[in-house]
Amino acid sequence: MLFYINETEPEETLFHMHNVPFPIDMIFLDDEFKVLDVKNAKPEEDNIRGMASYVLEVNAGSEIKKGDEAELDDEDTHEYTMKILGSDNKPQGYLIGGERIISRRETIVLLRKVLKANASKEDKDYKALGKYIFKVFKG
């Protein structure tokens, strides 16, 4: 996931790993996509700070290091795609865009419902998750 912070110059950023159940590498980039810093973020970790124009979240163990340069597709020719994965980890649908489609609060509730459904494996929890998703997207 790529977070836009400030396109013209890096600024102090703060991240929290609430409800993220797996480790990730957080890549702090300047306005020219040069790597300023890499933080190895652990589940539920708080106060991950760094200077950045952009922050890229990738799988842990990426071996990306300070001084590397990221190459991103040109915004004008790239379609941003989010895959909706099923319980078998295969795409069940796609969302295309480049903007936040739900609020931060809705994202937190959604993640909690996903974690609950995955932990319980009960139909009622998956149905509650599905209902919530449709409610959010309808709004």
Fill in the DSSP letter of residue 69.
B
pLDDT at 94 over 60: yes
State pTM to two decimals.
0.55
pLDDT at 68 over 70: yes
pLDDT on residue 77 = 42
Mean pLDDT of the chain: 80
Determine whether 3 is exposed, middle or buried from the number of CB atoms within 10 Å of its CB (0-12, 13-18, 19+). Answer: middle
pLDDT band at 74 (very low <50, low <70, confident <90, very high): low
pLDDT at 106 over 60: yes
pLDDT at 137 over 70: yes
